[in-house]
Structure 1
């Protein structure tokens, strides 16, 4: 949950003078890091919802968190390194208070030393024959590994890591060959012209191709690592300190904050293209339909980017070998300004393309709806809300509640009999949007209680009494529905306004964050970044927190996440669940949940696709928890063969179609005739909806509600 608060609102209960830290402008990176360190510490202690004592116990937790971030696979540091680092294990609290960089510089300098060493080790490994017949095992689970005791063990560990990647690459080549052969056989069997070419290689050729590919990937990973500035690692170091307070309190560098704002607002000023790194070069990835890169008709995914000119008055910047995020910042800019890319096409030709930057909407941010023609002869409206987006800096910017209202009005014009609001994978957003969306479905009333660090409780209310839709309503959720999604689902459940359908429980994030710009407290104009800080917890109108426990679905349908460790409850530093006094609210009794649940359970028990999906989910989770894998090619191939047999069993899931019929709005039919980008987006969206097993059952449930509503 993110709440936009102005600074003076945050400081109502704290004398402003206590937060003016009075640092002068730093002269170098060391001074800047020291300033940030102390500022983060002070801000955490003064403003965090539940500040921790900065002591030796805290230091040890930060120490463990830091190495989980820096070397999660235990592939870089040696035992001697860890023994040296351990001398600082209880001192990180002292370093935090004073801005001492001793530990940070020691570990990062050593990390770069090890990277240089491992680069040479890898080159040596690739310079010699690689034997895939040795009877070795690679440990996948870091908790089962120890840091290498000496250089011999370090060499051995990296050799195993390289072998594992080679075996995976061979398996990829095998899978590609099998796929091509199946397509070829299908074409021939259907008496069509054989146009499919199957690339076949001997086992030795596959091995050599795989070695070359992995060699290149390893080389480039080291190259990218070495290009990464040491200041970038400081953000990681700071987040080890902040995330021990709670997982949603994070330090953001100025660049990180810019990226966050882009995602939160759902828009960016640029050309609408993903930039990808591969083999030391930058390539265009997927182009956003309708954006400048796509509209140019001169750029395609796979084009190699050679140069970028951000402004007509500036020289071209050679981006070959540059990190992707650096190139992205060259391409972004002010709306209406030109940017030029020099690219190499797949045929080797060089093309210079100038585009005018536009406001590009991130497609997976905004609400969208469609009419479903159901088997019962009725029409139902489906609305997908991927984010509780809001643009606090632009009065004319888009927000989730206005978007939902617009979609509901379109659906009502099509005479629908029920609504499904899909909050799956919705990680939250603006707290105030929840109340506004509540007002679209019901009359005024409290929708959430918010408690700050002093224990003060505030009840937020929707004051509107003009709901747009009062008919049957189903809310879909899963384990990734979090924060604002959980407030809305919980509120609708508590009032008896909607039936909650989906995973056993949602994510379980019951906290509110705000951004605090660190330079606000400092005597400088420099940008020190921001701290996303947990300042409140929220509670349902019943007084129950959603923290850790989330919202339990009325009608449970498990998915792939149900078998994985997904959710707040799996984080060691997540704040605890608790309960406060309920607030007065009027509950309706619109649904017979027991009857709806029984009918759905009967359908899903007979749904072979659903049962197969659950079996597949359990199998994949078991794979993810495997702790080791053989590196002998015969044993590896035998293991892959057994896995393929299982995968073959689950192939039916890829071909599933739910049989739902969708009706495009009349105005959209007209728009599709002239707007190629809009037509393409609609086709892609509907294609995905046709594969959605859970949407089909949600339609069945809303149909049951309409039939049996009290």
Structure 2
């Protein structure tokens, strides 16, 4: 799962070589897809950092990758289908060169055919009692099984899959009962008001309830599948080609590109409401405080959305049965324009609510800080940076470096004695932000080398000599810290300006991407999407690439990701690691690593909670490696019983408290009083910080830095 993980990249917006691929305006979807294929192929061949030869060997890699994406579980296509498809295994290179849709249409038409057949089969299976006493085995690992060889094998595969889900759902119902019972026992023990009503179901009742739940799940899965149009599957098909070049080269349809831009900028123009999909209906989820939906005072969480009028002069669109992402696109629009939602309230009344679209910030992508109070009475600043966000289109838009600067100013006003910059799970973003952030912590200097496909090397430098924070600095990272995160951590490490603590190594994404609009090669106003392709590689000032190897932490602490395949090095198509000459740079060496390393090692060796985390992670790793499971109810329950015993052993970690106290900055204290959503998010953030053993050690380290 994690080896295919896509992380935010980016992105140097550099001028590209002028390419001219002349096409006539396509007349229909088939011509449009064909045109996209040829345009993607030409763009890859001319502009990719390390273009591959488009030949039979490439074709076979694309073929294998395509089926990993379309039917990784080997649950949809028959063995006879795969034998038929295999005749095209060495022809996919020709199809790409010619814009030939033969293979794509064959496989996707067959996929829709199989889905129709399987939908009928599963409904028939679910219409009859399923024998939970029959002793049979379900294969969890697709690599050790084949596609079904007959209609009977296909039915058996889906019957077992359904049975497995029913047993899991029954186990979930039992777990909920146990949790409720524990709560009731606790209430009675402390003689509190008991309002908890226990609902204890018999095994038969659980089976009936679980079967109904699984039926809804399966039915909705196929409903959603049929709602996907063939252009959505075409995006998957194109990415089977592009990702064989490297995992970060991808084709983006217009709507996929819109989603990427929204996440990258950290803002969206809309009404500020989450749209949730339940059993074919759309509902309003949480409303963002201060956004149009919240300000209307007419909408509440749980309202069913019936219709959307995207513009005053347009027809109202019925959204019942629509996929949530389609409805979201109707609701989004230009800032200052009107949108009308027709909703059914919980009392079944129906009303129209008209709102003016506004810019709604996605605050979870922005930096924020908090003051950490250690048990010894010292104060430190923690800055969480989820993304190196930047808005290249709006000069007044938010970006990561300005946000961190503002947080540092707040922390300095509180006289903190050290700063911890948390880059865990930060998949990257704008490379230019790295230099600006570096300038907040140290004087001018090179921070990254960027090498193009033609061998040309460009060194990027921070030119600021007025750092805002010159005190102790610790950078936290994990296996999901990637791209720009690795450039910043690597630069701070090479200069000795900051100490990196966390997983043995970061993700290892050392490549640079840019977007190329395919429309630039076409005489049309239609949007043909974009190609995000790798054009350069990152190198540290020391000359080492961050590709595959990532950044090795100064102080290593294993976490849950350490024991599973996370990172670029696990991807079959990732570019190789290499090295170039170092640039001239002068380390500042703010601290003695050996002494700090020895102190941490001593603490971790006697830290029972840290040792328990390692045991838990290794146990979960072994679970992931299990290839089969019994579907006989008693045997299945016995497996679950053993697992629950292990989970109970590790449950003590949920109650771990690192002893740190957290104080909000003054502006956020005031905001908590008026912004309910912000207050809830902050409360959850604090709770998570108090359970964070890795933060506890980061505080220990920053406290020891001179």
**With structure 1 as the length reference, what TM-score do the two structures score?**
0.96
How many residues are matched? 698
Please report how far the alpha carbon of residue 676 of structure 1 lies from its aligned counterpart in structure 2 after TM superposition: 4.1
Instruction: Assess, with a 3 A threshold, how the Cα gap between structure 1 residues 138 and 300 changes in structure 2: closer, same or farther.
Output: farther
- Contact 2:370-2:662 within 8 A present in 1 as well: yes
Range with bigger deviation, 224-233 or 286-295? 286-295
* Residue number in structure 1 paired with 2:701: 701
Moved more, 613-622 or 64-73: 613-622
Stretch of structure 1 that moved more, 234-243 or 120-129: 120-129
For residues 633-683 of structure 1, what are the alpha-carbon distances to aligned partners after superposition, in whole Å with 9 as ceiling and x for unaligned?
Answer: 111111111111011111111122222112222333334344444434433
Q: Post-superposition shift, 1:267? A: 0.6
What residue number does 1:553 align with? 553
Q: How does 1:1-40 map to 2 (within 5 A)?
A: 1-6=9-14, 9-11=15-17, 16=18, 19-40=19-40
Matched residue of 2:683: which SS? helix
Q: 1:339/1:161 Cα in 2 relative to 1: closer, same or farther (>3 Å)?
A: same
Instruction: Give 5+ residue unaligned stretches, structure 1.
Output: none
1:235-274 equivalences under 5 Å are: 235-274=235-274
Against the structure 1 CA distance between its residues 24 and 369, is the aligned structure 2 distance closer, same or farther, given a 3 Å change threshold?
A: same
Range 227-236 or range 668-677, more displaced:
668-677
Cα distance in structure 1, aligned partners of 2:683 and 2:526: 47
Quickly say closer, same or farther: Cα 1:675–1:122, change in 2 above 3 A.
closer
RMSD: 1.4
Give the match for residue 535 of structure 2: 535
* TM-aligned CA deviation for residue 349 of structure 1: 4.3
Q: C-alpha offsets along residues 4-31 of structure 1, whole Å, 9 cap, x if unaligned?
A: 425xx221xxxx3xx2111011000000
Distance change (3 Å), C-alpha of 1:131 and 1:109: same
Q: Could you tell which deviates more after superposition, 427-436 or 653-662? A: 653-662
Segments of structure 2 that go 5 or more residues without pairing to the other structure are: 1-8
Within a 5 Å distance, the mapping from 1:274-313 to structure 2 comes to 274-313=274-313
- Corresponding residue SS for 1:644: helix
Q: Secondary structure at the match of 1:370?
A: strand
CA 1:698–1:351: 2 relative to 1, 3 Å? farther
Write the distance in 1 (CA, Å) between the matches of 2:123 and 2:666: 62
Contact 2:20 2:521 in 1 (8 A): yes
SS in 2 for 1:650: helix
For each residue in 1:480-528, what CA deviation from the matched residue of structure 2 results, as whole angstroms up to 9, or x when unmatched? Answer: 0000000000000000000000000000000000000000111222110
The residue that corresponds to 2:583 in the other structure is 583
Partner Cα separation in structure 1 for residue 50 and residue 255 of structure 2: 28
The match for 1:493 is 493
Alignment of 1:58-97 (within 5 A): 58-97=58-97
Which residue is equivalent to 2:135?
135
Match of 2:605 in 1: 605
- Give the secondary structure class of the aligned counterpart of 2:245: coil
Q: Residue 12 of structure 2 contacts residue 512 of structure 2 at CA under 8 Å; is this kept in 1?
A: no
User: Residues of 1 paired with 2:378 and 2:202: CA distance?
Assistant: 58
Mapped to 2, the partners of 1:654 and 1:355 lie a distance apart of 42
SS in structure 1 of the partner of residue 354 of structure 2: strand
Separation in 2 of the partners of 1:532 and 1:425? 22
Q: CA–CA distance in 2 between the matches of 1:683 and 1:169?
A: 31
Deviations 1:221-251 (A, max 9, x none): 1111112111110000000000000000000
Shift of 1:33: 0.3
Alpha-carbon contact 1:290-1:678 (below 8 Å) kept: no
Q: Tell me the SS of whatever aligns to 2:402.
A: helix
Contact 1:136–1:631 (Cα < 8 Å) also in 2:
yes
SS class of match (1:505)? coil
> Contact conserved, 2:375 with 2:659, CA < 8 A, in 1?
no
Q: 2:385 touches 2:423 (CA, 8 Å); kept in 1?
A: yes
Counterpart check, 1:331 vs 2:366: no
Residue 571 of structure 1: how far off its partner (Å): 0.1
In the TM superposition, what is the alpha-carbon distance from 1:295 to its structure 2 partner?
4.2
